[in-house]
Chain A
Amino acid sequence: DTGVSQNPRHKITKRGQNVTFRCDPISEHNRLYWYRQTLGQGPEFLTYFQNEAQLEKSRLLSDRFSAERPKGSFSTLEIQRTEQGDSAMYLCASSFGDRVNEKLFFGSGTQLSVL
């Protein structure tokens, strides 16, 4: 399978616990994005990597959120001290090409439920 892979598919956690999600992008894609999607909404941008450099972070990304992309390959998104408001689908996407017509290829997401 050469698509974007995300693990786990589902995560249920108790409030206050830490969680970590993993994203494996398409191998030749140098750009990687994290988005968050809540019920009834479209995806909202969280953060962006070009190779291993994290170039942008949304204001939605509080200090409890951290993302890494060591060696410009896979990426992890960690949420510390989870809150019920963190419950959402977390989508990873990778891409190539020039910026305006850049096509994002998404994974199936990690559905987080914070109890």
Chain B
Amino acid sequence: AQKITQTQPGMFVQEKEAVTLDCTYDTSDPSYGLFWYKQPSSGEMIFLIYQGSYDQQNATEGRYSLNFQKARKSANLVISASQLGDSAMYFCAMREGRFDGANNLFFGTGTRLTVIP
């Protein structure tokens, strides 16, 4: 089974509008972390936001917020007031706490966001 599922291959949003990028995850581990990364055309993966499984509040970082619904195992990224520079690939990722090893960060297949002027 896929650890991370991103069902939207591509999304469009009007500049200055808000957009939600979907992410669902699958784990039986009570301790895990959820991440969102942005990958512009330059190739670099840029860390955006982190949510821990025990965090009581949804994470926020500037215009980014994570809509964490634990019972539904979803961790959607909300970008408010979209800017042209937000056009990029967005990856959701999960690290499971039960694995001590390094190979425990699982990425989804990504969503390509295009911001329309």
Binding site for B on A (CB under 8 A): 3, 9, 31, 33, 40-45, 48, 55-56, 58, 89, 91, 93, 99-109, 111
State which of B13-21, B31-39, B65-73, B76-84 sits at the interface with chain A: B31-39
Q: How far is the CB of A16 from chain B (nearest CB, A)?
A: 26
The bracket for how many chain B residues form the interface is 20 to 34
A40 to B100, CA, bound (A): 28
Across the interface, which residues of A come within 8 angstroms of B35, CB to CB?
Answer: 103
Question: In the bound complex, do residue A99 and residue B100 qualify as a contact, i.e. CB atoms below 8 Å apart?
Answer: yes
Across the interface, which residues of A come within 8 angstroms of B47, CB to CB?
Answer: 103-106
Binding site for A on B (CB under 8 A): 4, 31-33, 35, 37, 42-47, 50, 52, 91, 93, 95, 97, 100-103, 105, 107-110
Question: In the bound complex, do residue B52 and residue A101 qualify as a contact, i.e. CB atoms below 8 Å apart?
Answer: yes
Assuming the contacts A55-B102, A100-B97, A101-B52, asked whether A42 and B107 have C-beta atoms less than 8 A apart, the reply is yes
Q: Could you jot down 10 A-B contacts, CB within 8 Å? A: A40-B109, A41-B109, A56-B102, A89-B43, A93-B45, A100-B33, A100-B97, A101-B52, A102-B95, A103-B50
